[in-house]
Amino acid sequence: MSVELHLPDLPDVPISLGPARGAPPRVRVPWHLRLRDTLSAYLPLLVMALLALASWWLVKHSPRGSTVSEERPVSAEPDYTMEQFALERFDAQGRLKLRIEGAHMRHFPATDRIEIDHAQIRAVAADGRVTEARARRAIGNGDGSELQLVGGAEVVSQDRAGQPLLMRGEFLHAFFVTERVKSHQPVLVRLGTSEITAGGLEYDHGAGRLELAGAVRARLVPRTPPAGRAAR
Protein backbone atom coordinates (compact mmCIF):
# COMPACT_ATOMS: atom_id res chain seq x y z
CA MET A 1 0.00 0.00 0.00
CA SER A 2 1.42 3.41 -0.94
CA VAL A 3 0.61 6.72 0.66
CA GLU A 4 0.98 10.04 -1.17
CA LEU A 5 1.10 13.30 0.72
CA HIS A 6 0.32 16.58 -0.97
CA LEU A 7 1.73 19.68 0.74
CA PRO A 8 0.46 23.10 -0.05
CA ASP A 9 2.75 25.48 -2.05
CA LEU A 10 4.76 27.71 0.27
CA PRO A 11 5.43 31.36 -0.65
CA ASP A 12 9.05 32.44 -1.49
CA VAL A 13 10.47 33.97 1.63
CA PRO A 14 13.93 35.66 1.52
CA ILE A 15 16.32 34.14 3.92
CA SER A 16 19.16 36.21 5.43
CA LEU A 17 22.11 34.53 6.97
CA GLY A 18 23.50 36.31 9.97
CA PRO A 19 26.93 35.93 11.42
CA ALA A 20 27.73 32.51 12.59
CA ARG A 21 27.46 31.95 16.18
CA GLY A 22 30.80 32.31 17.92
CA ALA A 23 32.63 34.32 15.03
CA PRO A 24 34.50 37.41 16.24
CA PRO A 25 33.09 40.74 15.14
CA ARG A 26 34.92 42.54 12.23
CA VAL A 27 37.26 45.30 13.49
CA ARG A 28 37.82 48.41 11.36
CA VAL A 29 41.61 49.23 11.13
CA PRO A 30 42.45 52.95 11.36
CA TRP A 31 43.80 54.54 8.14
CA HIS A 32 47.21 55.46 9.57
CA LEU A 33 47.82 51.83 10.51
CA ARG A 34 46.86 50.69 7.02
CA LEU A 35 49.30 53.28 5.55
CA ARG A 36 52.04 52.05 7.85
CA ASP A 37 51.54 48.45 6.71
CA THR A 38 51.58 49.48 3.04
CA LEU A 39 54.79 51.48 3.47
CA SER A 40 56.42 48.59 5.31
CA ALA A 41 55.66 46.26 2.41
CA TYR A 42 57.07 48.60 -0.28
CA LEU A 43 59.88 50.18 1.74
CA PRO A 44 62.70 47.90 0.34
CA LEU A 45 61.72 48.75 -3.23
CA LEU A 46 61.67 52.46 -2.44
CA VAL A 47 65.12 52.28 -0.83
CA MET A 48 66.59 50.46 -3.83
CA ALA A 49 65.08 52.99 -6.23
CA LEU A 50 66.52 55.88 -4.21
CA LEU A 51 70.00 54.26 -4.15
CA ALA A 52 69.94 53.74 -7.91
CA LEU A 53 68.90 57.36 -8.45
CA ALA A 54 71.66 58.59 -6.15
CA SER A 55 74.29 56.50 -7.95
CA TRP A 56 73.20 57.87 -11.34
CA TRP A 57 73.36 61.43 -10.02
CA LEU A 58 76.88 60.93 -8.65
CA VAL A 59 78.16 59.47 -11.94
CA LYS A 60 76.48 62.25 -13.91
CA HIS A 61 77.96 65.06 -11.83
CA SER A 62 81.36 63.62 -10.89
CA PRO A 63 84.32 65.51 -12.45
CA ARG A 64 85.98 63.55 -15.25
CA GLY A 65 89.71 62.94 -14.98
CA SER A 66 92.06 64.10 -17.70
CA THR A 67 93.31 61.62 -20.27
CA VAL A 68 96.77 60.10 -19.98
CA SER A 69 98.10 62.28 -22.80
CA GLU A 70 96.86 65.41 -21.01
CA GLU A 71 98.25 64.36 -17.65
CA ARG A 72 101.58 63.08 -18.97
CA PRO A 73 102.61 64.60 -22.27
CA VAL A 74 105.40 62.74 -24.03
CA SER A 75 108.63 64.19 -22.76
CA ALA A 76 111.31 65.57 -25.04
CA GLU A 77 113.88 64.25 -22.58
CA PRO A 78 115.35 60.74 -22.92
CA ASP A 79 113.43 58.07 -21.04
CA TYR A 80 116.47 55.80 -20.70
CA THR A 81 120.20 55.81 -21.37
CA MET A 82 122.87 53.13 -21.74
CA GLU A 83 126.62 53.20 -21.17
CA GLN A 84 129.19 51.03 -22.93
CA PHE A 85 126.42 48.96 -24.48
CA ALA A 86 125.96 46.42 -27.26
CA LEU A 87 122.58 45.66 -28.85
CA GLU A 88 121.99 42.68 -31.14
CA ARG A 89 119.06 41.76 -33.36
CA PHE A 90 118.45 38.31 -34.84
CA ASP A 91 116.25 36.91 -37.60
CA ALA A 92 113.62 34.18 -37.20
CA GLN A 93 116.31 31.50 -37.60
CA GLY A 94 118.42 32.97 -34.81
CA ARG A 95 121.09 34.43 -37.10
CA LEU A 96 122.62 37.78 -36.26
CA LYS A 97 121.21 40.63 -38.37
CA LEU A 98 122.46 43.77 -36.64
CA ARG A 99 124.86 44.64 -33.82
CA ILE A 100 125.21 48.17 -32.48
CA GLU A 101 127.88 49.18 -30.00
CA GLY A 102 128.63 52.55 -28.48
CA ALA A 103 129.93 54.50 -25.53
CA HIS A 104 126.59 56.13 -24.69
CA MET A 105 123.03 55.84 -26.00
CA ARG A 106 119.95 57.99 -25.35
CA HIS A 107 116.38 57.09 -26.33
CA PHE A 108 113.79 59.84 -26.90
CA PRO A 109 110.18 58.58 -26.54
CA ALA A 110 108.59 61.60 -28.25
CA THR A 111 110.01 60.54 -31.62
CA ASP A 112 111.25 57.01 -30.84
CA ARG A 113 114.75 58.08 -31.86
CA ILE A 114 118.13 57.12 -30.50
CA GLU A 115 121.40 59.00 -30.26
CA ILE A 116 124.68 57.08 -29.95
CA ASP A 117 128.13 58.39 -29.15
CA HIS A 118 131.07 56.61 -30.82
CA ALA A 119 128.82 54.20 -32.68
CA GLN A 120 129.99 50.99 -34.31
CA ILE A 121 127.53 48.98 -36.39
CA ARG A 122 127.78 45.53 -37.96
CA ALA A 123 124.98 44.41 -40.29
CA VAL A 124 124.77 40.93 -41.85
CA ALA A 125 122.76 40.49 -45.06
CA ALA A 126 120.73 37.39 -45.92
CA ASP A 127 123.57 36.12 -48.14
CA GLY A 128 126.08 36.49 -45.29
CA ARG A 129 127.72 39.66 -46.61
CA VAL A 130 128.87 41.95 -43.81
CA THR A 131 128.53 45.74 -43.74
CA GLU A 132 130.35 47.70 -41.04
CA ALA A 133 129.84 51.35 -40.15
CA ARG A 134 131.19 53.77 -37.57
CA ALA A 135 130.92 57.42 -36.62
CA ARG A 136 131.50 59.75 -33.69
CA ARG A 137 127.73 60.17 -33.42
CA ALA A 138 124.74 58.29 -34.82
CA ILE A 139 121.09 59.37 -34.86
CA GLY A 140 118.32 57.06 -36.00
CA ASN A 141 115.11 55.17 -35.36
CA GLY A 142 114.49 53.03 -32.32
CA ASP A 143 115.46 49.69 -33.87
CA GLY A 144 118.69 51.04 -35.40
CA SER A 145 117.84 49.94 -38.93
CA GLU A 146 118.32 53.53 -40.21
CA LEU A 147 121.09 55.74 -38.84
CA GLN A 148 122.54 59.12 -39.72
CA LEU A 149 126.28 58.88 -39.16
CA VAL A 150 127.86 62.21 -38.20
CA GLY A 151 131.56 62.97 -37.78
CA GLY A 152 134.19 60.66 -39.24
CA ALA A 153 131.46 58.53 -40.80
CA GLU A 154 132.49 55.39 -42.64
CA VAL A 155 130.66 52.47 -44.24
CA VAL A 156 132.57 49.40 -45.46
CA SER A 157 130.99 46.62 -47.50
CA GLN A 158 131.20 44.89 -50.91
CA ASP A 159 129.51 45.71 -54.18
CA ARG A 160 127.52 43.18 -56.18
CA ALA A 161 130.65 42.06 -57.99
CA GLY A 162 132.36 41.29 -54.70
CA GLN A 163 134.76 44.25 -54.80
CA PRO A 164 135.58 45.99 -51.51
CA LEU A 165 133.53 49.18 -51.15
CA LEU A 166 134.31 52.01 -48.73
CA MET A 167 132.31 55.23 -48.32
CA ARG A 168 133.67 57.94 -46.04
CA GLY A 169 132.62 61.49 -45.12
CA GLU A 170 131.47 63.75 -42.33
CA PHE A 171 127.88 62.68 -42.96
CA LEU A 172 126.47 59.40 -44.26
CA HIS A 173 122.86 58.27 -44.04
CA ALA A 174 122.80 54.45 -43.86
CA PHE A 175 119.75 52.19 -44.31
CA PHE A 176 120.81 48.74 -43.17
CA VAL A 177 117.65 46.83 -44.10
CA THR A 178 117.33 48.13 -47.66
CA GLU A 179 121.16 48.36 -48.01
CA ARG A 180 121.33 51.95 -49.16
CA VAL A 181 123.68 54.82 -48.30
CA LYS A 182 123.31 58.46 -49.27
CA SER A 183 124.89 61.81 -48.44
CA HIS A 184 124.54 65.43 -49.51
CA GLN A 185 128.02 66.31 -48.25
CA PRO A 186 131.51 65.63 -49.70
CA VAL A 187 132.45 61.97 -49.71
CA LEU A 188 135.32 59.66 -50.56
CA VAL A 189 134.55 56.36 -52.28
CA ARG A 190 136.97 53.49 -52.73
CA LEU A 191 135.76 50.75 -55.04
CA GLY A 192 138.29 48.00 -55.42
CA THR A 193 141.57 49.83 -56.13
CA SER A 194 139.88 52.94 -57.57
CA GLU A 195 139.29 56.10 -55.54
CA ILE A 196 136.62 58.75 -56.16
CA THR A 197 135.76 62.02 -54.43
CA ALA A 198 132.42 63.76 -54.96
CA GLY A 199 130.06 66.33 -53.50
CA GLY A 200 127.54 63.65 -52.51
CA LEU A 201 126.42 60.13 -53.32
CA GLU A 202 123.55 57.68 -53.37
CA TYR A 203 124.32 53.97 -53.28
CA ASP A 204 121.74 51.21 -53.73
CA HIS A 205 123.20 47.74 -53.32
CA GLY A 206 120.05 45.92 -54.48
CA ALA A 207 120.00 47.83 -57.75
CA GLY A 208 123.80 47.76 -58.07
CA ARG A 209 123.83 51.54 -58.58
CA LEU A 210 126.27 54.19 -57.34
CA GLU A 211 125.36 57.79 -58.18
CA LEU A 212 127.81 60.62 -57.48
CA ALA A 213 126.87 64.29 -57.26
CA GLY A 214 128.72 67.61 -57.42
CA ALA A 215 132.36 67.87 -58.49
CA VAL A 216 133.67 64.37 -59.12
CA ARG A 217 137.33 63.43 -59.27
CA ALA A 218 138.41 59.85 -59.81
CA ARG A 219 141.58 57.79 -59.89
CA LEU A 220 140.67 54.61 -61.68
CA VAL A 221 142.91 51.59 -61.46
CA PRO A 222 142.15 48.60 -63.71
CA ARG A 223 141.14 45.45 -61.89
CA THR A 224 143.87 42.83 -61.67
CA PRO A 225 142.74 39.74 -63.59
CA PRO A 226 142.53 36.48 -61.64
CA ALA A 227 145.64 34.31 -61.57
CA GLY A 228 146.01 32.10 -64.61
CA ARG A 229 144.15 34.52 -66.94
CA ALA A 230 145.99 36.94 -69.20
CA ALA A 231 144.92 40.54 -69.20
CA ARG A 232 143.48 41.71 -72.50
Give a yes or no: residue 55 inside a domain.
Answer: no
- Residue 38 is predicted with a pLDDT of 72
Give the span between the Cα atoms of 201 and 215, in whole angstroms. Answer: 11
What CATH number does residue 85 fall under?
A: 2.60.450.10
Listed range (53-57, 136-140, 184-188, 226-230) with the worst mean pLDDT: 226-230
Give a yes or no: residue 177 inside a domain.
Answer: yes
Give a yes or no: residue 64 inside a domain.
Answer: no
Give a yes or no: residue 102 inside a domain.
Answer: yes
Give the span between the Cα atoms of 125 and 160, in whole angstroms. Answer: 12
Q: What percent of the chain has pLDDT over 90?
A: 50
Give the span between the Cα atoms of 99 and 129, in whole angstroms. Answer: 14
pLDDT at residue 70 tops 70:
no
pLDDT at residue 197 tops 80:
yes
Mean pLDDT, rounded, for 101-119: 94
Question: How many domains, in total, are found in the chain?
Answer: 1
Give pLDDT tens digits for 162-196: 899 999 999 999 999 999 999 999 999 999 999 99
Give a yes or no: residue 40 inside a domain.
Answer: no
- Residue 74 is predicted with a pLDDT of 60
Give a yes or no: residue 60 inside a domain.
Answer: no
The answer to whether the beta carbons of residues 131 and 125 sit under 8 Å apart is: yes
Segments forming the whole domain that contains residue 90: 80-219
Q: What is the 3-state secondary structure (H, E, C) of 62-109?
A: CCCCCCHHHHCCCCCCCCEEEEEEEEEEECCCCCEEEEEEEEEEEEEC
Give a yes or no: residue 7 inside a domain.
Answer: no
Q: What is the pTM of this model?
A: 0.64
Give a yes or no: residue 191 inside a domain.
Answer: yes
